A and B are shown apart, each in its own frame.
Chain A
Amino acid sequence: MAMAKTGETIKLSFPVNPAYVSSARLTASSIANRMGFDIDEIEDIKTAVSEACTYIIRTMITDEKSNFEINFILLEGVMEIHMVTSGMPVPTPPDEMSLMMIKALVDDFKLSGGPEKNIEIFMIKKHISSFFE
Protein backbone atom coordinates (compact mmCIF):
# COMPACT_ATOMS: atom_id res chain seq x y z
CA MET A 1 0.00 0.00 0.00
CA ALA A 2 1.48 3.32 -1.07
CA MET A 3 1.38 5.93 1.67
CA ALA A 4 1.75 9.67 1.26
CA LYS A 5 5.39 10.62 0.54
CA THR A 6 7.54 13.40 1.91
CA GLY A 7 7.90 16.18 -0.64
CA GLU A 8 4.49 15.68 -2.20
CA THR A 9 2.06 18.61 -2.46
CA ILE A 10 -1.71 18.57 -2.89
CA LYS A 11 -3.32 21.72 -4.25
CA LEU A 12 -7.02 22.52 -4.09
CA SER A 13 -8.93 25.55 -5.25
CA PHE A 14 -12.31 26.55 -3.79
CA PRO A 15 -14.88 29.24 -4.56
CA VAL A 16 -15.69 31.54 -1.61
CA ASN A 17 -18.79 29.54 -0.74
CA PRO A 18 -19.76 27.94 2.62
CA ALA A 19 -21.12 24.91 0.78
CA TYR A 20 -17.62 23.50 0.23
CA VAL A 21 -16.09 23.87 3.70
CA SER A 22 -17.10 20.29 4.46
CA SER A 23 -15.20 19.14 1.35
CA ALA A 24 -12.06 20.94 2.54
CA ARG A 25 -12.46 19.30 5.96
CA LEU A 26 -12.91 15.85 4.48
CA THR A 27 -9.88 16.22 2.19
CA ALA A 28 -7.69 17.50 5.03
CA SER A 29 -8.53 14.53 7.27
CA SER A 30 -8.04 12.08 4.45
CA ILE A 31 -4.54 13.41 3.63
CA ALA A 32 -3.58 13.55 7.33
CA ASN A 33 -4.70 9.94 7.66
CA ARG A 34 -2.52 8.86 4.72
CA MET A 35 0.43 10.65 6.34
CA GLY A 36 0.03 8.52 9.46
CA PHE A 37 -1.22 11.19 11.87
CA ASP A 38 -3.13 9.76 14.84
CA ILE A 39 -6.85 10.28 15.39
CA ASP A 40 -6.51 13.31 17.70
CA GLU A 41 -4.04 15.00 15.36
CA ILE A 42 -6.34 14.34 12.38
CA GLU A 43 -9.20 16.02 14.29
CA ASP A 44 -6.96 19.03 15.01
CA ILE A 45 -5.97 19.34 11.34
CA LYS A 46 -9.57 18.94 10.20
CA THR A 47 -10.79 21.67 12.57
CA ALA A 48 -7.89 24.03 11.79
CA VAL A 49 -8.49 23.76 8.02
CA SER A 50 -12.24 24.17 8.48
CA GLU A 51 -11.79 27.27 10.63
CA ALA A 52 -9.25 28.76 8.22
CA CYS A 53 -11.79 28.32 5.37
CA THR A 54 -14.49 29.89 7.55
CA TYR A 55 -12.23 32.83 8.39
CA ILE A 56 -11.46 33.36 4.69
CA ILE A 57 -15.11 33.09 3.64
CA ARG A 58 -16.16 35.61 6.28
CA THR A 59 -13.34 37.94 5.27
CA MET A 60 -13.93 37.86 1.51
CA ILE A 61 -16.56 39.49 -0.62
CA THR A 62 -18.48 36.55 -2.05
CA ASP A 63 -18.67 36.68 -5.81
CA GLU A 64 -18.04 34.13 -8.53
CA LYS A 65 -14.54 35.52 -9.19
CA SER A 66 -13.33 35.18 -5.57
CA ASN A 67 -11.56 31.98 -4.72
CA PHE A 68 -8.90 30.57 -2.46
CA GLU A 69 -6.29 27.87 -2.69
CA ILE A 70 -5.27 25.31 -0.13
CA ASN A 71 -1.85 23.72 -0.47
CA PHE A 72 -1.01 20.71 1.66
CA ILE A 73 2.77 20.31 1.71
CA LEU A 74 3.91 16.95 3.06
CA LEU A 75 7.18 17.01 4.99
CA GLU A 76 8.86 14.48 7.29
CA GLY A 77 6.35 14.00 10.13
CA VAL A 78 4.93 17.46 9.40
CA MET A 79 2.00 18.81 7.42
CA GLU A 80 2.37 22.35 6.18
CA ILE A 81 -0.83 24.05 5.08
CA HIS A 82 -0.69 27.21 3.06
CA MET A 83 -3.87 29.05 2.05
CA VAL A 84 -4.13 32.12 -0.14
CA THR A 85 -7.06 34.13 -1.48
CA SER A 86 -7.68 36.07 -4.64
CA GLY A 87 -10.49 38.62 -4.68
CA MET A 88 -11.58 41.49 -2.49
CA PRO A 89 -11.71 41.26 1.32
CA VAL A 90 -14.59 42.94 3.19
CA PRO A 91 -13.73 46.22 5.01
CA THR A 92 -14.33 44.82 8.53
CA PRO A 93 -12.71 41.52 9.44
CA PRO A 94 -14.89 38.91 11.20
CA ASP A 95 -14.65 38.08 14.91
CA GLU A 96 -11.66 36.11 16.06
CA MET A 97 -13.15 32.84 17.29
CA SER A 98 -11.81 30.94 14.26
CA LEU A 99 -8.28 32.25 14.83
CA MET A 100 -8.42 31.45 18.55
CA MET A 101 -9.32 27.85 17.70
CA ILE A 102 -6.65 27.47 15.00
CA LYS A 103 -3.90 28.79 17.31
CA ALA A 104 -4.82 26.21 19.94
CA LEU A 105 -4.79 23.30 17.49
CA VAL A 106 -1.66 23.69 15.33
CA ASP A 107 2.05 24.01 16.14
CA ASP A 108 2.62 27.16 14.12
CA PHE A 109 0.25 29.73 12.63
CA LYS A 110 0.74 32.91 10.63
CA LEU A 111 -1.85 35.22 9.10
CA SER A 112 -1.07 38.07 6.74
CA GLY A 113 -2.91 40.36 4.32
CA GLY A 114 -6.22 42.11 4.86
CA PRO A 115 -7.96 45.10 3.27
CA GLU A 116 -6.74 45.54 -0.34
CA LYS A 117 -4.43 42.54 -0.05
CA ASN A 118 -4.76 38.78 -0.48
CA ILE A 119 -5.13 36.94 2.79
CA GLU A 120 -2.50 34.29 3.47
CA ILE A 121 -2.71 31.67 6.17
CA PHE A 122 0.18 29.40 7.05
CA MET A 123 -0.15 26.49 9.48
CA ILE A 124 2.10 23.65 10.61
CA LYS A 125 1.03 20.46 12.34
CA LYS A 126 3.62 18.01 13.64
CA HIS A 127 3.05 14.30 14.01
CA ILE A 128 4.33 13.84 17.56
CA SER A 129 4.93 10.09 17.58
CA SER A 130 6.96 10.28 14.33
CA PHE A 131 9.81 11.68 16.42
CA PHE A 132 10.01 8.45 18.41
CA GLU A 133 9.88 5.97 15.57
Chain B
Amino acid sequence: MDFQMDHSFDEQQNRWNIILTGEIDIFNSLELKTRLTKLVEEKPADVFLQCKFLEYIDSTGLGALVGVLKNVKGSGFTIHMQDVKPNIQKLFKITNLDNEFILEEGDGNG
Protein backbone atom coordinates (compact mmCIF):
# COMPACT_ATOMS: atom_id res chain seq x y z
CA MET B 1 0.00 0.00 0.00
CA ASP B 2 1.25 3.40 -0.92
CA PHE B 3 0.69 6.68 0.86
CA GLN B 4 -1.66 9.50 0.09
CA MET B 5 -1.46 13.13 1.20
CA ASP B 6 -4.40 15.52 1.07
CA HIS B 7 -3.85 19.13 2.06
CA SER B 8 -5.85 22.29 2.56
CA PHE B 9 -5.00 25.67 4.03
CA ASP B 10 -7.28 26.94 6.81
CA GLU B 11 -7.33 30.74 6.32
CA GLN B 12 -9.25 31.38 9.54
CA GLN B 13 -6.85 29.51 11.78
CA ASN B 14 -3.85 30.21 9.54
CA ARG B 15 -2.67 26.61 9.37
CA TRP B 16 -2.07 23.70 7.06
CA ASN B 17 -4.43 20.76 7.55
CA ILE B 18 -2.91 17.65 6.05
CA ILE B 19 -4.28 14.11 6.03
CA LEU B 20 -1.77 11.28 5.69
CA THR B 21 -3.06 7.86 4.60
CA GLY B 22 -1.28 4.52 4.10
CA GLU B 23 2.33 3.52 4.63
CA ILE B 24 5.44 5.67 4.49
CA ASP B 25 8.83 4.00 4.17
CA ILE B 26 12.14 4.29 2.29
CA PHE B 27 10.24 3.86 -0.99
CA ASN B 28 8.22 7.08 -0.68
CA SER B 29 9.65 9.14 2.25
CA LEU B 30 11.49 11.50 -0.12
CA GLU B 31 8.20 12.27 -1.85
CA LEU B 32 6.60 13.07 1.53
CA LYS B 33 9.46 15.44 2.37
CA THR B 34 9.37 17.16 -1.03
CA ARG B 35 5.60 17.69 -0.96
CA LEU B 36 5.46 18.95 2.64
CA THR B 37 8.47 21.23 2.11
CA LYS B 38 6.83 22.77 -0.95
CA LEU B 39 3.71 23.63 1.09
CA VAL B 40 5.51 25.18 4.07
CA GLU B 41 7.81 27.18 1.83
CA GLU B 42 4.87 28.44 -0.22
CA LYS B 43 3.07 29.50 2.95
CA PRO B 44 4.85 29.23 6.31
CA ALA B 45 2.36 28.30 9.05
CA ASP B 46 1.63 25.68 11.70
CA VAL B 47 1.15 22.22 10.22
CA PHE B 48 -1.52 19.84 11.52
CA LEU B 49 -0.93 16.29 10.30
CA GLN B 50 -4.00 14.12 10.73
CA CYS B 51 -2.64 10.58 11.14
CA LYS B 52 -5.66 8.42 11.94
CA PHE B 53 -5.33 6.69 8.55
CA LEU B 54 -1.54 6.46 8.68
CA GLU B 55 -0.79 2.75 9.06
CA TYR B 56 2.99 2.80 9.13
CA ILE B 57 5.98 5.15 9.09
CA ASP B 58 9.62 4.05 9.17
CA SER B 59 12.87 5.76 10.20
CA THR B 60 13.27 7.46 6.81
CA GLY B 61 9.70 8.82 7.06
CA LEU B 62 10.41 10.13 10.56
CA GLY B 63 13.64 11.62 9.21
CA ALA B 64 11.63 13.35 6.47
CA LEU B 65 9.26 14.81 9.09
CA VAL B 66 12.22 16.03 11.17
CA GLY B 67 13.59 17.81 8.09
CA VAL B 68 10.25 19.53 7.51
CA LEU B 69 9.98 20.37 11.24
CA LYS B 70 13.35 22.19 11.10
CA ASN B 71 12.07 24.23 8.19
CA VAL B 72 8.74 24.99 9.94
CA LYS B 73 10.43 25.89 13.26
CA GLY B 74 12.82 28.15 11.34
CA SER B 75 9.82 30.35 10.48
CA GLY B 76 8.54 30.27 14.06
CA PHE B 77 5.86 27.58 13.64
CA THR B 78 5.51 23.94 14.62
CA ILE B 79 4.06 20.57 13.57
CA HIS B 80 1.14 18.90 15.35
CA MET B 81 0.61 15.15 14.86
CA GLN B 82 -3.00 14.20 15.47
CA ASP B 83 -4.59 10.82 16.31
CA VAL B 84 -1.34 8.90 15.82
CA LYS B 85 -1.90 5.13 16.11
CA PRO B 86 -0.31 3.40 19.13
CA ASN B 87 2.18 1.41 16.98
CA ILE B 88 3.48 4.68 15.51
CA GLN B 89 3.43 6.54 18.85
CA LYS B 90 5.77 3.83 20.11
CA LEU B 91 8.27 4.73 17.35
CA PHE B 92 8.12 8.42 18.30
CA LYS B 93 8.94 7.44 21.90
CA ILE B 94 11.81 5.10 20.96
CA THR B 95 13.45 7.81 18.85
CA ASN B 96 12.68 10.59 21.41
CA LEU B 97 10.80 12.47 18.70
CA ASP B 98 7.73 12.71 20.96
CA ASN B 99 9.58 15.70 22.49
CA GLU B 100 10.02 17.44 19.13
CA PHE B 101 6.54 17.17 17.65
CA ILE B 102 3.24 17.92 19.38
CA LEU B 103 1.34 14.63 19.57
CA GLU B 104 -2.31 15.23 20.32
CA GLU B 105 -5.88 14.13 19.75
CA GLY B 106 -7.51 15.52 16.63
CA ASP B 107 -9.69 18.62 16.85
CA GLY B 108 -11.91 17.72 13.91
CA ASN B 109 -10.18 20.03 11.46
CA GLY B 110 -8.21 17.35 9.69
Query: Which residues in A have some Cβ–Cβ distance to B below 8 Å?
Result: 18-19, 21-22, 25, 40, 43, 46-47, 50-51, 53-54, 57-58, 95, 97-98, 100-101, 104-105
Contact = CB atoms under 8 A, between A and B. Distances in A.
B87 interface: yes
A51 B59 contact: yes
Contact of B59 (A25, A40, A43, A98): A98
A58 B58 CA distance: 13
Given A18-B27, A19-B27, A54-B26, A105 B59 contact: no
Interface residues of B, number: 16
B25 A54 contact: yes
A97 B87 contact: no
B63 A21 contact: no
B62 A50 contact: no
A25 B59 CA distance: 14
B25 A22 contact: yes
Contacts of A25: 25, 56
B109 interface: no
Contacts of B58: 21, 47, 50-51, 54
B94 A100 contact: yes
A83 to B, nearest CB: 15
**Dominant secondary structure of chain A at its interface with chain B:** helix
B13 interface: no
Given A51-B58, A54-B59, A97-B63, A21 B27 contact: yes
B23 A22 contact: yes
Interface in B56-110: 56, 58-60, 62-63, 87, 90-91, 94-95
15 contacts: A18-B25, A18-B27, A21-B26, A43-B87, A43-B90, A46-B56, A47-B58, A47-B91, A51-B58, A57-B26, A95-B63, A97-B59, A97-B63, A97-B95, A101-B59
Interface string B1-26: 10000000000000000000001011
B60 A54 contact: yes
Contacts of A97: 59, 62-63, 95
